[in-house]
Amino acid sequence: MNKSIIFITMLLTLSLVFGQTKQQTQQNTQPATGIHYSEKFDTITGWKTYKAEGCNIKLSKGQGKDGAGLKVDYDLGDKDWVAFEKTANLKLPENFVWKFALKSTGNENYLEVKFIDKDGSVFGNKMLLSPDGKWQDITLNYDDFSYWWGGDENINDVTRIGFAVSKNVGGSGIVEIDNLEIVELPRKTITKKVSPDVLDDFEDKRGWQVFTAEGAKLLLKNVPGKDGNALAAQYDLTEEEGKWVAWNKRFQLDFTKTKTLKFLVKAEGGNNRLEFKVIDKDGSTFGQKFEDLENKWQEITISVDELEYWWGGDGELQQPEKIGFAISTIDGGKGTIYIDKLQLVK
């Protein structure tokens, strides 16, 4: 979590530099479809680097996938992150894809892809690098990005775009990027029909943000579940003690009428502990732990009043804003926890 704090500090500084202009409306003067941003990396001018203390990053012109590309040599050592960003002037369309070619070698760390807007809101996506030295084409949709921190919770005029390499196993590696494009797509018609008490049906993994202890790994996927898709949390806690992986998402939570939450769960692999959390705006974290989960679907019912206060904030739940899950070590090792149909019961 240290990394997040460092990022917040860095981004607060950036947002001060860029001022506090607030813009609530998003005017769409752009054409209905088309390329909003394109970078072929014939030059690497304008890309700036940032790093946590003790980390190193060097940008150079690489071979690229098509013509030259951006080559990033990094060394996290045992620290947390390096970043490379560029100023942009972009009105983000309502529906888009962010495409780029990616090649990496070295250690298996995370790649973060980020938009930063005028008031400092950061929207991002975090993926595990596959450092196999092969070019792969990455396509991220609007749904793959979630609000991370800073500014307000809307993405307005984008002033910077960027990437970061953040710690999974740490150490060094090379990341190469080419053919970066942000392309507008036709507006989506939303056809989802979910009952109003379902907070998340896990048809997609939109909005879930991943955190891991040093050396631990977590990959979130959508797989066929109990009811349509479920979320599969594939984890590797290693054999060491005290490891954990976690994933959180923001929800509009109102516990004034009902305080009963339910979800479906199934566990495969290692014998480990599932933690369920409700997190307040000030960081007050309340939770409940579950052990001996079985390899068949079961429904868990939680009463918000019975959650235990764990840490953070003032110990009171005034403005609940996130729900989180975590897996912590009993025996460690690998496994998958499946979650489906998270609901606030009427």
Residue of 75, 117, 176, 200 that binds Ca ion (CB under 5 A): 117
Q: Give the H/E segment covering residue 233.
A: strand 229-236
Stretch near Ca ion under the rule CB under 5 A, chosen from 43-51, 260-268, 273-281, 297-305: 273-281
| CB atoms near residue 113 (< 10 Å) | 22
Q: What phi and psi, each to the nearest 5 degrees, are found at residue 325? A: -125, 150
Stretch near Ca ion under the rule CB under 5 A, chosen from 35-43, 84-92, 166-174, 238-246: 35-43
Q: Which residue is nearest to Ca ion (CB)?
A: 121
Does 200 bind Ca ion (CB under 5 A)? Our answer is: no
Does 99 bind Ca ion (CB under 5 A)? Our answer is: no
Residue of 50, 55, 64, 96 that binds Ca ion (CB under 5 A): 64
Report strand pairing: 122-128 vs 146-149: antiparallel
**What torsion, rounded to 10 degrees, do the Cα atoms 133, 139, 144, 145 define?**
90
277 and 285 in contact (C-beta within 8 Å)? yes
Does 176 bind Ca ion (CB under 5 A)? Our answer is: no
Minimum Å gap between C-beta 291 and Ca ion is 24
Burial 132-151 (b: 16+ CB within 10 A, else e): eeebeebebebebbbbbbbb
Which of positions 66-85 make contact with Ca ion (CB under 5 A)?
66-67
The secondary structure of the chain in percent helix, strand, coil, rounded to multiples of 5, reads 5, 50, 40
Closer to Ca ion at the Cβ: 57 or 180? Answer: 180
Which of positions 310-329 make contact with Ca ion (CB under 5 A)?
313-314, 316
Residue of 212, 284, 288, 343 that binds Ca ion (CB under 5 A): 284
Does 227 bind Ca ion (CB under 5 A)? Our answer is: yes
Largest CA distance in the chain: 59
Minimum Å gap between C-beta 294 and Ca ion is 19
Stretch near Ca ion under the rule CB under 5 A, chosen from 1-9, 58-66, 239-247, 326-334: 58-66
Question: Is the sign of the CA dihedral 1, 316, 325, 275 positive or negative?
Answer: positive
Report strand pairing: 81-91 vs 157-166: antiparallel
Residue of 112, 176, 184, 340 that binds Ca ion (CB under 5 A): 340
What tokens were used for 145?
Answer: 């990005």
d(CA 119, CA 162): 16
Residue of 201, 247, 263, 277 that binds Ca ion (CB under 5 A): 201
Does 121 bind Ca ion (CB under 5 A)? Our answer is: yes
Closer to Ca ion at the Cβ: 41 or 96? Answer: 41
Site of interaction with Ca ion (CB under 5 A): 40-41, 64, 66-67, 117, 119, 121, 151-152, 154, 156, 178, 201-202, 225, 227-229, 280, 282, 284, 313-314, 316, 340
